[in-house]
Amino acid sequence: MALVASDVPKLPRGVRLQADAARGRPVLLAPERAFELDEPAAHVLALVDGKRTIGDIVAALAVTFDAAPSEIEPDVIAMLEDLVAKRVVER
């Protein structure tokens, strides 16, 4: 089932966003796994708090990056769907 703007993503128990000094980049840490993040992904995941909808996240990113929400939303949803499939984000 595809994610939609009204879904509220959250990080599951044991998964956290952290700055990794050794890699010099943000990482998403999960049990026995680590995902190195690029800057846009880190911005998205910093807003994933289990309270904001995807629409709220897109709106905040649109302001931060001075971009139209309609341009950002497909990429945000695609990234979150990928992370849901990897079980490091829950819907």
What secondary structure does DSSP assign to 26-83, as a single string?
Answer: EEEEETTEEEE--HHHHHHHHH-SSSS-HHHHHHHHHHHHT--HHHHHHHHHHHHHHH
Count of domains observed in the chain:
1
5 band by pLDDT with thresholds 50, 70 and 90: very high
pLDDT digits 0-9 by tens, 11-60:
999 999 999 888 788 999 999 999 999 999 999 999 999 999 999 999 99
46 within some domain: yes
18: which strand partners?
27
Q: Whole domain around residue 58: which residue ranges?
A: 16-85
9 within some domain: no
48 within some domain: yes
Residue 79: CATH number of its domain = 1.10.10.1150
pTM: 0.91
5 within some domain: no
